[in-house]
C-alpha cells in the first residue's frame, strides 16, 4: 500500500492507494491518539510512505521508519503541484503526494529527498537553532538599551552593553525613572541570555566529539574554531554525500540561482532553499580568512566590482570549496598555522577532560 501523508503539528491527513492506482480512502488522525498508534501498528514492510519536510517530520520519520518498506521525506520547496487546480486542501495535498509516491516506487524515478541525519546530529542542529535564537535576543536587547540611552542624551557603544562594568557607569547617569527601570530589567535579561547561550555552547562542544576527526581537519583553517567546525559538520554530516564541491556549495547556501533560456543566462542571488547554519558561521570569520594573502586579493578584487556583501559570500564559497577537498582528501588546510591549530585542539581536549 502507498500512503501520502500531509503532516501537521497536531494531525495527519492520509491518502492510501493500491499498486494498481486505485485510491481506497482518505482519512485523518490526530497525533498521539489511540487511533493514530493503531494505524502505525498496522503498517508492514510492504507499505511505502511519502511526507513533506516540516518541523515535526523527523519525529514522524523515526516513528514509522522501521514499520514500512520505505519512507520518503521530500522538500516541498522543490516539488510543485501538477494537477492545474488552484484549490489547496489537505486531502488534495495528500492525494498528490501518494500519486507521486506510487510513480517513484514503481518506476524507480528520483525526487528531491531531504537527508535525515542520525539522532545525535539532529540534536546538535537543534542546539545551534537555540544558540542563534539567543544571539538574536541579545542583539535586540542591546539595541533597546542603546535606544533608551540615546533618548536620554547618552551614547554607549553597543559592543560594551553586555559588560557588567558598563551598567555601573550607566547607573550613575541622570536618567528618568522610567528609563532606569527599563534598562535595569533589560540588563538582567542580558545576563540571563548570556548564561543560556554559554550553556548551549558547552553542550554543543560536548556533543561535537562525534566529529572528532573532522574537527581536527577543519580547525586547520584559520578562522574556523572547534565550535564552528561542529556546526559545519552538523550541516554536512558526511562529505561523501556530495559528488562535487559545487553540490556542497549549493547545499550550504552559497551557490547563485541560474536562469537559462536559449542564449540568455541570468545569474541571480544565492539559492536560499538550503542549509543556512554554515554560511551564518563562516560569514562572521571573513576577516580571519582574509589574513591569507591569496584570499585577501580575491576579496579585494570581488569587492571592487560586486560590493562588500557579495565579496564576503564569495570568500565563504571559496572556503567551502577548501572544506570539501580537506574532508575528501583528509588533509590539513594548505595555509595552516601549526601553532594556532595545535592550540585550538589542545583547548578542546582540555574542555572535554573538564566536562568528562
Scanning the chain, the segments in alpha helix (DSSP H) are 34-42, 57-64, 90-107, 119-151, 164-170, 177-207, 212-218, 226-236, 245-251, 277-282, 286-289, 293-306, 308-329, 338-355
pLDDT in tens, 144-200: 988 998 888 888 777 777 666 777 788 788 889 998 899 889 988 988 999 999 999
pLDDT of residue 281: 92
Burial zone of 54 (CB within 10 Å; 0-12 exposed, 13-18 middle, 19+ buried): middle
pLDDT of residue 46: 92
Using a pLDDT cut of 70, give the percent of the chain over it.
90
Radius of gyration of the chain (CA): 25
Mean pLDDT over the full length of the chain: 87
pLDDT in tens, 256-306: 655 555 555 455 556 666 788 999 999 999 999 999 999 999 989 988 888
Domain 2-107 matching CATH 3.30.420.40: the answer reads yes
**Are 229 and 214 within 8 A, CB to CB?**
yes
Any idea of the CA torsion for 77, 130, 223, 234, to the nearest 10 degrees? Answer: -60
State the average pLDDT over residues 228-251.
93
**Are 298 and 256 within 8 A, CB to CB?**
no
**Are 352 and 206 within 8 A, CB to CB?**
yes
Cell (9 digits) for 200: 548551549
Any idea of the CA torsion for 333, 338, 344, 346, to the nearest 10 degrees? Answer: 130
DSSP code per residue over 245-258: HHHHHHHTT-SEEE
Residue 264, beta-bridge partner list: 261
pLDDT in tens, 306-348: 888 889 999 999 999 999 999 999 999 999 999 999 999 999 9
Where b means 16+ CB within 10 Å and e means fewer, 26-36 reads beebebeeeeb
pLDDT of residue 110: 81
Q: Residue ranges per domain, the chain? A: 2-107, 119-209, 223-336
Cell (9 digits) for 329: 582528501
The rounded distance, in Å, linking the Cα atoms of 112 and 275 is: 14
Cell (9 digits) for 290: 582574509
Angle at CA of residue 125, ends 120 and 128, nearest 5° = 130
Top-confidence residue, 219 or 90: 219
Any idea of the CA torsion for 116, 122, 126, 132, to the nearest 10 degrees? Answer: -80
**Are 1 and 102 within 8 A, CB to CB?**
no
Is beta strand 11-17 parallel, antiparallel or unpaired with respect to 2-7? antiparallel
pLDDT at residue 225 above 80? Answer: yes
Give how far Cα 187 sits from Cα of 46, 92, 130, 194, Å: 59, 51, 20, 10
The rounded distance, in Å, linking the Cα atoms of 68 and 44 is: 5
pLDDT of residue 325: 95
Residues in the chain: 356
Q: Which long-range contacts (CB under 8 A, 24 or more apart) does 339-348 make?
A: 340/222, 341/219, 341/220, 344/219, 344/225, 344/226, 345/215, 345/216, 345/219, 345/226, 347/226, 348/205, 348/215, 348/226
pLDDT of residue 85: 46
**Are 344 and 208 within 8 A, CB to CB?**
no
Amino acid at each position: 500500500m502507498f500512503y501520502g501523508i500531509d503532516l501537521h503539528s497536531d494531525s495527519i491527513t492520509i491518502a492510501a492507494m493500491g499498486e494498481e492506482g486505485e485510491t481506497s480512502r482518505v482519512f485523518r488522525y490526530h497525533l498521539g491518539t489511540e487511533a493514530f498508534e493503531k494505524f502505525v501498528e498496522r503498517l508492514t514492510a510492504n507499505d511505502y510512505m511519502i511526507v513533506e519536510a516540516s518541523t515535526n517530520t523527523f519525529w514522524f520519520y523515526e516513528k514509522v521508519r522501521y514499520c514500512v518498506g520505505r519512507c520518503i521525506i521530500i522538500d516541498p520547496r522543490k516539488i510543485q503541484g501538477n494537477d492545474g487546480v488552484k484549490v489547496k486542501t489537505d486531502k488534495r495535498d495528500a492525494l498528490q503526494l501518494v500519486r507521486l509516491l506510487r510513480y517513484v516506487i514503481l518506476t524507480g524515478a528520483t525526487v528531491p529527498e531531504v537527508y535525515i541525519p542520525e539522532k545525535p546530529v539532529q540534536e546538535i542542529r537543534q542546539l545551534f537553532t537555540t544558540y542563534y535564537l539567543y544571539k538574536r535576543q541579545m542583539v535586540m536587547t542591546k539595541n533597546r538599551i542603546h535606544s533608551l540611552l540615546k533618548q536620554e542624551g547618552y551614547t554607549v557603544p553597543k559592543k560594551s552593553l553586555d559588560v557588567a562594568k558598563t551598567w555601573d557607569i550607566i547607573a550613575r547617569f541622570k536618567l528618568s525613572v522610567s528609563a532606569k527601570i527599563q534598562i535595569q530589567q533589560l540588563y538582567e535579561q542580558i545576563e540571563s541570555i548570556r548564561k543560556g547561550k554559554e550553556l548551549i555552547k558547552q553542550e554543543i562542544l560536548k556533543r561535537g566529539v562525534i566529529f572528532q576527526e573532522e574537527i581536527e581537519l577543519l580547525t586547520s583553517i584559520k578562522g574556523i574554531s572547534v565550535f564552528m567546525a561542529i556546526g559545519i559538520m552538523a550541516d554536512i554530516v558526511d562529505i561523501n554525500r556530495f559528488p562535487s564541491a559545487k553540490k556542497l556549495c549549493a547545499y550550504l547556501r552559497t551557490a547563485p540561482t541560474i536562469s537559462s533560456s536559449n542564449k540568455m543566462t541570468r545569474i541571480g542571488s544565492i539559492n536560499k532553499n538550503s542549509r543556512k547554519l554554515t554560511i551564518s558561521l563562516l560569514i562572521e570569520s571573513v576577516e580571519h580568512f582574509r589574513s591569507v594573502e591569496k584570499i585577501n586579493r580575491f576579496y579585494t578584487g570581488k569587492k571592487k566590482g560586486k560590493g562588500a556583501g557579495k565579496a564576503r559570500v564569495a570568500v565563504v564559497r571559496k572556503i567551502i570549496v577548501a572544506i570539501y577537498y580537506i574532508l575528501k582528501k583528509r588533509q590539513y588546510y594548505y595555509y595552516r598555522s601549526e601553532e594556532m591549530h595545535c592550540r585550538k585542539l589542545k583547548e578542546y581536549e582540555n574542555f572535554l577532560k573538564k566536562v568528562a
